[in-house]
Amino acid sequence: MSVSTVAAAQTICSDISGALPVLGRDVTVPLVTGGEVTYAALDYAASAPALQRVWDDVAAYAPYYGSVHRGAGYLSQLSTDLFENARRTVEEFLDCRPDDQLIFTRSTTDSLNLLAAALPADCQVFVFETEHHASLLPWKDARVTYLNAPRTPAQAVETLEQALATRDPQGPALVCVTGASNVTGELWPVRELAAAAHAHGARIVLDAAQLAPHHPVSVQDLDVDWIAFSGHKLYAPFGSGVLAGRADWLQSADPYLAGGGASRKVTRREDGGVDVEWHDSAARHEAGSPNVIGAYSIASACKALTEAGFDTLVAREQHLIEKVRAGLSEVPEVKVLSLFGDDAPRVGVISFVVDGWNSSHFAAALSAEYGIGVRDGLFCAHPLVRTLLGSDPQTQGECGAPEAAPGEKSLNAIRVSFGAGTPDEHVERFITAVRELVTDGAKWNYRTEDGRCVPAV
C-alpha cells in the first residue's frame, strides 16, 4: 500500500463532545494531594496537542522516509513528492495567490526573522506594542515605529493610518500585525489594517500563529502580503512553520541560510573564490535537508481542520469560551485582561489575574492539586501584559519565570487556552478549581525554585 493510499484511508471522526481527537486525552497525572486524574491540557496557545489524524498520517509515512529533492531512490522520490504536495496543501489551506511562494521554516518566529532578513534597504516597519515577541523583535535592522496599544479595533486602524501618513512615501514599508492576540485571544481587524497599509503604499505581514488553528485564514480575502504561523500551534508537532506570500522581496534577498538546496550552481573563480547562483523558488530559503515530517504534519493538520469544517469548530470553541468567561465572571476576585472589551470576538485564549494571588502560585496549584495545565507569566508579550496590568514599563517581570515568591505580588498573569480536542469536562474542572482556590485557598504549601513556583516537599 502506498503512502498516498494510507493517507487517503485516514478518516476524521469526532468524539461525543464534537471535538477532534487529539493525543494525550487519556493521560493521567499524579496529584500532590494523592491519587491521579486525567490531565486537562489548557495551554493550547503555547503548544496544542497533536491531532490523532496527524500522528496516524506521520506513522503511516515513517517507514517510507527518505532524503528530499536530490535522491534517485524510490523513497527519496516519494519523500520529495510528499514534501512538495504538502506545500501545495498548505497553499490551498491559506488560499494563496497563484504567484505566491510558500517556504517551510521552523516556526512563526523563524518565519518572521526570515522576512526581516529579506526586507529591502531602508525599509520602515510599523508594529504595535501588543505583538508577541516573535512579531515585535525581528526588525532590528530596519527603521521601526512601535505603535501604542489601541483600545478598540477602530482605534487600531486609525493609529496605523496616522503613523503611515507621516512616513516617506517613496521608500518601502511593512506593517506587522497579529490575527489573534496570544494574551487576550481577541481578533484584530486584519482586513481593515491591510487596506490602510496598502492605501499608504506599505505591505503587511500577518502573524497567524493564534488565528490559523481557530479560524479559516485566506491570504486573498484578508489581502495580506505575507502570512506566518507555526505547526505546533496547529496540532502538528515536529518543529515546522510557514511563511507564505509575495515572492519579489524573497527572491531579491540573500538566502536566509547559505548551503545546499538553496544554490542552483556553484563554480570556482580564477582568484580562488566561488560564484554562486541561487534558486529563485522557495528553495532559496530552505537550505539543508528539509523537515519533511514537519511539513507533512502541517499539511495533515490543514486537511483535518478543513474536513472537520471550521464552522463546526468555531461554534464548539465559542461554546467553551462562553463557559469559561461565564464561570470566571462569577468569581469577583478574578480580573480578565482585555484590550477591546467583553464583547470583542476572540479565540479560545483568556488571560486573567486573581486578587491576592501570585499568578505563578495559582497556576502551580491548578496543576498540582487539580491536574490542570495552564500558562503563567508575561507570555512573551511583555509590553502588552504590562499595559493590561497597568504597570510601569520598567517594572520587573519575566516570561514564564516570575520573580516573586508565593503570596507576594508579581508582574505576571494566568492564561487558559483551548481548542479542538478540548472536552467540556476540562473547562468545567478549571472553573471549579478557580472557585475553590479563591474561596478555600490552596491545600498544599508551595515554594519558589529556579524561578518557578512548585509544591513544597
Q: Which residues are identified as catalytic? A: 380
Cα atoms in the Cβ-side hemisphere of radius 13 Å centred on 62: 8
Contact yes or no for 31/403 (Cβ under 8 A): no
SS3 226: strand
Name the nearest CA neighbour of 89 among 49, 111, 57. 57
| CA–CA gap between residue 14 and residue 299 (Å, rounded) | 19
Determine how many CB atoms are found less than 10 A away from the CB of residue 384: 26
* SS3 state at 361: helix
* CA-to-CA separations, 368 to 60, 132, 258, 377, 415, in angstroms, rounded: 36, 28, 47, 17, 16
Q: Determine the longest span between alpha carbons in the chain, in angstroms.
A: 80
Half-sphere exposure of 295 (CA within 13 A, CB side): 25
d(CA 110, CA 140): 14
Q: Are strands 173-178 and 124-128 parallel, antiparallel or unpaired?
A: parallel
Using an 8 Å Cβ cutoff, are 359 and 414 in contact?
yes
Beta bridge partners of 28: 38
CB 181 within 8 A of CB 384: yes
